[in-house]
Chain A
Amino acid sequence: MIITDVLCPFCGDLCDDIIVEVEGNKIIEVKEACETGMSKMMGHERIAAPMIRENGKLVKTTYETAITKAAEILTNSLRPLMYGWGSTTCEADKKGIELAEELGAIVDNTTSVCHAPSILALQDVGLPSCTLGQIKNRADLIIYWGSNQAEAHPRHMSKYTSFTKGFFTKEGRKGKYVMVFDIRKTTTAEVANEFVQILPGEDYRVLSALRAILAGAGDVVPFSVGGVPKGKLIEIVDRMKNSKFGVLFFGMGLTHSRGKPYNVANAISLVRDLNAHTKFAVIPMRGHYNVLGFNQVCTWSTGFAFAVDFARGQPWYNPGETSTVDVLNRGECDSALIVASDPAAHFPRKSVEHLARIPLIQIDPYASLTTELADVVLPAAIAGIEVEGTAYRMDGVPLRLRKLIEPVHLSDEEILSRILSKVREIRGD
Chain B
Amino acid sequence: MELLITNGIVYDPINQISGEKVDIFIKDGKIVSGVKNPKTIDAGGRIVMPGGVDMHTHIAGGKMNVGRMLRPEDGRRGIESKKKLTRACTGYSVPNTFATGYRYAKMGYTTTFEPAMPPLLARHTHEEFRDIPLVDKGAIPLLDNHWLILEYVKSGDMDKLAAYIAWMMNATKGYGIKIVNAGGGEAWGWGKNVRNLDEMVPNFDVTPAEIIHGLAEANERLNLPHSIHIHCNNLGHPGNCDTTLATFDLVKDVTSNNRQVMHATHAQFHSYGGSTWADMYSKADAIASYVNSHDHVTVDPGQVMFGDTTTMTADGPMEHELHMMSKRKWTNKDVELETGSGIIPVFYSRKVSINTIQWAIGLELVLLIKSPWKTAITTDHPNGAPFTRYPEIISLLMSKKRREEALKGVHSAINKRAILSSIDRELNWADIAIMTRASPAKILGLDKHGKGHLGIGADADISIYDISPEEDDPRKIQSALSNAKYTIKGGEIVVKDGEIVAVPEGRTYWVNPEFDGDVTKAMLEDLAVKFKDYYSVSLANYPVQDAYVPHPIEIKTRCKNAS
Contact = CB atoms under 8 A, between A and B. Distances in A.
Contact of A132 (B188, B320, B329, B336): B336
B331 A127 contact: yes
A126 B70 contact: yes
Contacts of B62: 396
Given A16-B538, A131-B335, A302-B96, 20 more contacts: A4-B540, A16-B537, A122-B69, A122-B70, A125-B329, A126-B323, A131-B120, A132-B336, A132-B536, A279-B189, A300-B96, A303-B68, A303-B96, A312-B81, A313-B81, A314-B79, A314-B81, A317-B76, A396-B62, A398-B127
Interface string A119-138: 10011111111111110111
B65 A296 contact: yes
Interface residues of B, number: 64
B329 A5 contact: no
A15 B495 CA distance: 45
A304 B534 CA distance: 34
A123 B70 contact: yes
**Chain A: interface size category:** 35 or more
26 contacts: A5-B538, A90-B127, A101-B88, A123-B70, A125-B329, A126-B331, A128-B332, A130-B335, A136-B336, A136-B534, A138-B189, A165-B533, A166-B533, A281-B334, A299-B69, A301-B98, A303-B72, A303-B90, A303-B91, A310-B82, A314-B80, A314-B89, A392-B124, A396-B66, A396-B333, A398-B123
Contacts of A301: 87, 96-98, 131
Interface residues of B, dominant DSSP: mixed
Interface string A63-85: 00000000000000000000000
| B79, B323, B344, B538: most-surrounded residue (chain A CB, <10 A) | B538
B128 interface: yes
Interface of A: 4-5, 7, 16-17, 90, 94, 98, 101-102, 119, 122-134, 136-138, 159-160, 165-168, 244-245, 272, 275-276, 278-279, 281, 295-297, 299-305, 310, 312-315, 317, 388, 390, 392, 396-400
Given A138-B189, A159-B536, A279-B189, A302 B90 contact: yes
Nearest to A295: B69
Contacts of A278: 191
B256 to A, nearest CB: 34
B37 interface: no
A131 B330 CA distance: 17
B72 A304 contact: yes
A17 B332 contact: no
Interface string B46-78: 000000000000001010111011111001100
Given A4-B540, A296-B65, A400-B123, A313 B88 contact: yes
B333 to A, nearest CB: 5
Contacts of A317: 72, 75-76
A299 B203 CA distance: 38
Interface string B188-201: 11110000000000
A133 B72 contact: no
A245 B190 contact: yes
B121 A398 contact: yes
Contacts of A17: 538
B547 interface: yes
A296 B124 contact: yes
B68 A5 contact: no
B331 A129 contact: yes
A317 B65 CA distance: 16
Contacts of B87: 98, 101, 301
Contacts of A392: 124
B123 A399 contact: yes
B335 A134 contact: yes
B325 interface: no
A204 to B, nearest CB: 19
Nearest to B340: A130
A225 to B, nearest CB: 25
B324 interface: yes
Contacts of B324: 276
B371 interface: no
Nearest to B91: A303
Contact of B336 (A126, A128, A133, A244): A133
B257 interface: no
| A136, A165, A303: most-surrounded residue (chain B CB, <10 A) | A303
Contacts of B97: 300-301
A215 to B, nearest CB: 13
A122 to B, nearest CB: 6
Given A168-B203, A315-B90, A160 B536 contact: yes
Contact of B82 (A136, A245, A295, A313): A313
A7 B70 contact: no
Give 8 closest A-B pairs by Cβ, nearest first. Answer: A133-B336, A303-B90, A303-B75, A133-B536, A279-B191, A130-B334, A126-B329, A5-B540
Contact of A130 (B128, B323, B332, B533): B332
Nearest to B540: A5
A130 B538 contact: no
Interface string B507-549: 0000000000000000000000000011111101100010100
B535 to A, nearest CB: 5
B189 A133 contact: no
B337 interface: yes
Nearest to B99: A303
